[in-house]
Homo-oligomer: A and B are copies of this chain.
Amino acid sequence: VYEQWVARIQAEGYRLTAARKAVLRALVEARGPLSAAALQVSARGQHSRLGLVTVYRTLEMLEGLGLVRRIHAEGACHGFTASSPGHRHAVTCERCARAVEFDGDDLCELTPGVERKTGYRISGHWLQMVGLCPSCREGRG
């Protein structure tokens, strides 16, 4: 994934700097959504001088390219994860916070129903599920 991102970033004319590489690596290797601050800590393993500001700016760029997804949670808002292309949604584990995405096409099927019920013309949606991932279920029942 990392290589694809690098290619995309260069293709878009953005520069490939040490700071960006570090953030990219951290995002790709993350086992769940991270806050900007957590991302900075993680990415500093690759680039110790990394500033929080740069993390925000890199995330902004990546979100613009659709490579990163902003995740909202009940309690604390805004975490970021690598996103897969296409129309997908995420499930987050309530114990370990590990997130995986799944195909959300099924969801589009219920759009007509919602439009009928509400009278709205639906143009988009945004779904997140919460649950227990396989490992956490095994480890704790």
**CB-CB < 8 A to A113: which residues of B?**
106
**CB-CB < 8 A to A121: which residues of B?**
131-132, 137
Contact B129 A122 (CB under 8 A): yes
CB distance from A59 to the nearest CB of B (A): 14
Contact A91 B130 (CB under 8 A): no
In the complex, A103 has a CB within 8 A of chain B: yes
A123-B130 contact given A72-B72, A110-B107, CB 8 Å threshold? yes
A110-B106 contact given A72-B72, A132-B123, CB 8 Å threshold? yes
Contact B131 A124 (CB under 8 A): yes
In the complex, A14 has a CB within 8 A of chain B: no
| Complex interface residues of chain A between 120 and 141 (CB less than 8 A to chain B) | 120-134, 137
A-B contact sample (13 more), CB < 8 A, given A118-B133, A123-B132? A72-B77, A91-B122, A102-B117, A114-B129, A120-B129, A120-B131, A120-B133, A121-B132, A124-B130, A124-B131, A125-B127, A125-B129, A127-B128
**What are the 10 tightest A-B residue pairs by CB atom distance, in nearest-first order?**
A122-B131, A125-B129, A120-B131, A72-B72, A119-B134, A77-B77, A121-B132, A127-B127, A124-B130, A123-B131
